[in-house]
Structure 1
């Protein structure tokens, strides 16, 4: 499928907590943004899963139910459930229940972070040095940074050591492909337990949910999505240096299925849109500090006020340089041009945007301006 400059746009939301605000306000803002996104023509509204951070999207299934109840037609889903921290049965039953109340509107996005985090934790601890950023490539108008490996940094950070409470003591994340297989089997009614017993998820079996695989590299997630003929979401906004190889690996591994006859790719981008470039740049001030808090493993800080956010020193800037230069910031025309270039380069079928600002009104305006410039309204 060839990318169209005005292919569908969707929204990814973390329910960020702004500096001086609280989780309750963040969650109410999420509902408000979802209602506006539906009015403005966005196709989907996805929520992320994060823990021990200043974002309120910690329980995707519960938040999805609230969003779906407050909207009428927009698809609502997870981006993504971290399956290494739960069981296949829990996932199938939770999303089966969502489908009962909101039939045909639920997307079940699955992510490998739990397993990946366990693998990273097994790496030897030691000093981690982040060198000066390597010059990025400009490929057909899209910035492609050199991949930044922060595995050791995240594996031995204060936040990483707290993840042990997300699973039962002694529990080991199962293989991602095996867990995806279990979830699909529970949904289609063919699941058999390790002991050979047929089991049926109630609710869950027969649920009309759309299963997605999310990935940031050419690793297991891309291969699982392709081999199983499932749609794939590539995280340019998280790992811009590995997006092209992730999409290529997915397409190479793709096999037609009852779900898809050909690959279907969604690519994410982080955007801030305002009436003019200068205003957008001001609103994006503080993004670097926010990303730095995530990448150093301390968890996202409350999103800074752009009026008081302080510039990052050079050593901290090196850790987030790839994210800063791949954030799409500017007027509607500026951002549309960059999004279209990303879509053409990746041959995406759809783009999903995440837009975070300190003030909720500015975040609403960012989504509205983009929807109008993209032709959704």
Structure 2
């Protein structure tokens, strides 16, 4: 098959023993290398109150990455829209676009909107491993993950408390997307008919994306508004096919997009040989466990720390879907798994994320993949 565009998702991970400043310097270094290697996009995630992740202010970090690179598109994967107003988002990204026109992607996610439904569904969600895995066109679709542990997390509640003004509530997600589109297009009117102009932001050459993990509201609004859609195999592999199918079913052509356009993410670790790749990836399960128990992402452990951890059966079930769907190995082996992912989902682009304890190993992983993919 023709190799489709390949991009990078970066969380600015903090390795055990490192600092946030070190992680941010590593992000700029990796972004420069990605630009040289031919990756298509460089997206920054948004995480809060996580001691192991430094990407808490994506708009700021996107501006720094755009300034440090020359060609590559830079964007958010994704802005947690439930904690922002439409105007604030347009002004932030419009500011970056004003200095780096035509290179900025604005990826929007529903985080912050989903808290109530998240908690409501937690009790009814199946336990990890309670239903069987399946393979679709060669792609592993694991059992669904139960969010019960995260939904009960005091840290999750504190995150909402600290990110929102007292008595504030998140507007409707669809309305926020429509407001962002209107502010960029210069057509915004209040219910009373008052015009508003975002400066910077109005007329910005931003590419707007919706990110989603299921066939719910995110996939629906992306399709109905004719926007490109990013589906998260690396976060929610059990529902990736449901997400892309719902998006395509809802799609209506728009001025910017005539046909559905899908990007799919994957977690990968590459090395020159299988055993080295497995060792580099070995702390991943412990890191995912910290997120799924509601404690927040910890500094990424060393392989030695990971080897010393004593796993319970419950812990193994908690992270099994993420471990089973992480693509780890030599360049040809990982490239083949990415090919299967692209064909099974019909992806137009792929987005890969890699975390290792040592920064040079992460850079080398992306270098090996770029060479194998033919960037």
The TM-score, its normalising length taken from structure 2, stands at 0.96
Quote the offset at 1:361 in angstroms.
0.4
**CA pair 192-127 structure 1, distance change in 2 beyond 3 A:** closer
Quote the offset at 1:160 in angstroms.
1.2
**CA pair 132-260 structure 1, distance change in 2 beyond 3 A:** closer
Structure 2 match to 1:362 = 361
Structure 2 match to 1:86 = 84
Q: Decide whether the 8 Å contact of 1:284 with 1:357 is kept in 2.
A: yes
Quote the offset at 1:131 in angstroms.
5.1
Structure 1 match to 2:151 = 155
Q: Decide whether the 8 Å contact of 1:118 with 1:173 is kept in 2.
A: no
* 1:300 aligned onto 2:300: no
Aligned mate of 2:23, from 26, 29, 48: 26
Aligned mate of 1:96, from 63, 76, 94: 94
* 1:334 aligned onto 2:333: yes
**CA pair 263-338 structure 1, distance change in 2 beyond 3 A:** same
Quote the offset at 1:125 in angstroms.
8.7
Name the CA distance, whole Å, in 2 between partners of 1:333 and 1:18.
Answer: 27
Name the CA distance, whole Å, in 1 between partners of 2:68 and 2:88.
Answer: 24
Name the CA distance, whole Å, in 2 between partners of 1:253 and 1:126.
Answer: 29
Aligned mate of 2:10, from 7, 10, 13: 13
Name the CA distance, whole Å, in 2 between partners of 1:175 and 1:16.
Answer: 31
Name the CA distance, whole Å, in 2 between partners of 1:126 and 1:341.
Answer: 34
Quote the offset at 1:105 in angstroms.
0.3
Per the alignment, in what secondary structure is the counterpart of residue 304 of structure 2?
Answer: coil
* 1:35 aligned onto 2:32: yes
**CA pair 235-353 structure 1, distance change in 2 beyond 3 A:** same
Per the alignment, in what secondary structure is the counterpart of residue 199 of structure 1?
Answer: coil
Structure 2 match to 1:166 = 163
Q: Decide whether the 8 Å contact of 1:128 with 1:153 is kept in 2.
A: no
Aligned mate of 1:142, from 139, 142, 145: 139
Name the CA distance, whole Å, in 1 between partners of 2:183 and 2:273.
Answer: 49
Structure 2 match to 1:373 = 372
Per the alignment, in what secondary structure is the counterpart of residue 159 of structure 1?
Answer: helix
Quote the offset at 1:159 in angstroms.
1.4
Quote the offset at 1:129 in angstroms.
8.4
Structure 1 match to 2:108 = 110
Structure 2 match to 1:209 = 206
Quote the offset at 1:186 in angstroms.
0.3
Unmatched tracts of structure 2, length 5 or more: none
Structure 1 match to 2:282 = 285
What are the residue-to-residue correspondences of 1:110-129 with 2, within 5 Å? 110-121=108-119, 123=120
Q: Decide whether the 8 Å contact of 1:288 with 1:312 is kept in 2.
A: no
Listed one character per residue, the Cα deviations across residues 76-134 of structure 1 (whole Å, up to 9, x for unaligned) are: 0000001100100000001111111000000000000110124334x399799845454
Name the CA distance, whole Å, in 2 between partners of 1:256 and 1:131.
Answer: 38
**CA pair 99-268 structure 1, distance change in 2 beyond 3 A:** same
Q: Decide whether the 8 Å contact of 1:16 with 1:356 is kept in 2.
A: yes
Name the CA distance, whole Å, in 2 between partners of 1:195 and 1:60.
Answer: 33
**CA pair 298-326 structure 1, distance change in 2 beyond 3 A:** same
Unmatched tracts of structure 1, length 5 or more: none
What are the residue-to-residue correspondences of 1:123-272 with 2, within 5 Å? 123=120, 130=127, 132=129, 134-150=131-147, 152-163=148-159, 164-272=161-269
Structure 2 match to 1:353 = 352
Name the CA distance, whole Å, in 1 between partners of 2:357 and 2:121.
Answer: 38
Structure 1 match to 2:54 = 56
RMSD: 1.6
